[in-house]
Amino acid sequence: MRISGRNTVEALKKVLEKNKQKYIDRLSELVAIDTHDLGHGIDGGLEKQGQDYMAELFRKMGAEVTLDSMKEEDIEKCFSLYQEGNLGHQQTDRYNVYAQFNGEKPGKTLMFNGHIDVMPADEVEEWTTPPFSPTIRDGKLYGRGTADMKGGLMAATMAVKLLQDAGIPFSGSVKITSVCDEEGGGNGSMQAIMSGQRADGVVVCEGTSDELILAHMGFVFFRVKFAGKACHSGAKQNGVSAIEKAIKVIQALNEKEHEWLLHYKHPLLPAPNLNVGLIHGGTAGSTVAEDCMFEVCVHYLPNQMSHNQVVKEFQEVVERVAKSDAWLEEHLPEVQITQFGGGFEMEEHSFFVDSFKRAYSEARGKAVKVVGSPAGCDSRLWRNIADCPTIQFGPGNLAQCHAVDEWLDLEAYLQSILIYAELILDFCQA
């Protein structure tokens, strides 16, 4: 029998209304702490003060709290075993915080996963208010990290607090993993997984615009470098333009993208795509370019395509063009992989997804919309490596991530607290 129900959700709504300012204040306090990554996590991060805040909050709420320092050897092991891992990141003063709240009766374990790190806010002069001075305007909380994703992390925490404030017991246990270095590729969740963190169901609390995300695309970043032969442009016949050689490869890669478009379809995701997002070469219009480099991001479909397949087909295109060109055959382009992450997909017809749908319906009075996301996140790690049933749902939207004047709709934040509380009651029962 469900612990939750119409009477329970109405009681939770009343307590949520009574305590909403307290729950908003907790989020504001966290947003006010600058926890940004340095150089996409490669040079370290400022997460420590934010993690100290979360650990103390968890302790005050009665949780069992574990601190787990980031360890390069664990990331190396993850990379070796699962081809996921961003090596060589500075790990000084970086650690995850795990909180466990135990219910009154045996039951399932539900985990809420969120990252404490945020992107830098270097364009301070472009912000209407300082990025780490959270400000409420028109029902929105402005500040770096509000949507990505301190809103989701704190909503999960306050969902437990809501049940405590309402005096409503739950079964099983609730874990909250506050992780580091997500913006650098997900090392924090990898650390948690390699340390043995698991659950019967995992909610990745990234912002989803009030929709349930059950799939996201995999991604591979490539850098391709070309060597040419410089000379005065007036005597171009004596040189070799690295830019022109790069263009030949780009054209062939566009043809590969078109081939993927024809072969692969997904009900929740766009077709696989290949984007040349940066190109640089040469020194002046009067000089034949001696060098050229371009960077590409390939997004591919989960389960239908793989990392190894994408890398193989990308390299085959470059090699095929090189073999058809006398200069490139002798001066092969250099292909580097700079970052990558797998795709994610969770079957919709499963106990965990059904439980979330019930919880959402109880809280919101309507059915949740099921979608996919073109952007990758830690969902892939909990599903693919930890082998946990995983969904993605949280307050905020993709458009606000990394944006100037980042904001979070406070009503969405409060609604997420209620939905998460309902999910705890529904899913964790034995």
DSSP 403: -
**Residue at 46: amino acid letter:** L
Give the DSSP H or E segment for 78.
helix 72-82
Concatenate the DSSP letters of all residues of 80-106 into one string.
HHHS---TT---TT-EEEEEEEE-SEE
Q: How high is the pLDDT of residue 5?
A: 67
Q: How high is the pLDDT of residue 1?
A: 39
Q: Please give the distance of CA 72 from its chain centroid, rounded to a whole number.
A: 20
Q: How high is the pLDDT of residue 416?
A: 98
Q: What is the CB neighbour count within 10 angstroms for residue 261? A: 14
Mean pLDDT of the chain: 96
- Closest alpha carbon to 179 in 75, 318, 250: 75
Q: How high is the pLDDT of residue 118?
A: 97
**Is it the case that residue 357 has pLDDT exceeding 60?**
yes
- pTM value > 0.85: yes
Rounded CA separation 342/113 (Å): 18
Q: How high is the pLDDT of residue 4?
A: 53
**Is it the case that residue 403 has pLDDT exceeding 50?**
yes
Q: How high is the pLDDT of residue 375?
A: 87
Give the DSSP H or E segment for 63.
none
Average pLDDT of the residues in 220-246: 97
Strands 218-227 and 334-341: antiparallel
Radius of gyration, CA atoms only, the chain:
24
Residue 110: CB partners within 8 Å, gap ≥ 6? 172, 173, 174, 175, 199, 200, 201, 202, 203, 423, 424, 427, 428
pLDDT bracket for residue 163 (50, 70, 90): very high
**pLDDT digits over 56-85, tens only?**
999 999 999 999 999 999 999 999 999 999
- Closest alpha carbon to 267 in 309, 220, 304, 312: 304
**pLDDT digits over 267-308, tens only?**
999 999 999 999 999 999 999 999 999 999 999 999 999 999
Rounded CA separation 151/145 (Å): 8
pLDDT bracket for residue 339 (50, 70, 90): confident
* Domains defined along the chain, listed by start: 6-216+343-427 (3.40.630.10), 222-341 (3.30.70.360)
CB 199 within 8 A of CB 84: no
Rounded CA separation 196/199 (Å): 10
Q: What is the 3-state secondary structure (H, E, C) of 297-327?
A: EEEECCCCCCHHHHHHHHHHHHHHHHHCCHH
Rounded CA separation 186/115 (Å): 9
**Is it the case that residue 329 has pLDDT exceeding 60?**
yes
CB 291 within 8 A of CB 225: yes
Q: How high is the pLDDT of residue 226?
A: 98
Q: Please give the distance of CA 138 from its chain centroid, rounded to a whole number.
A: 27
Q: Scan for tokens 């058809």, then name that residue.
A: 324
**pLDDT digits over 133-159, tens only?**
999 999 999 999 999 999 999 999 999
pLDDT bracket for residue 388 (50, 70, 90): very high
**Is it the case that residue 2 has pLDDT exceeding 50?**
no
Rounded CA separation 350/339 (Å): 32
pLDDT bracket for residue 117 (50, 70, 90): very high
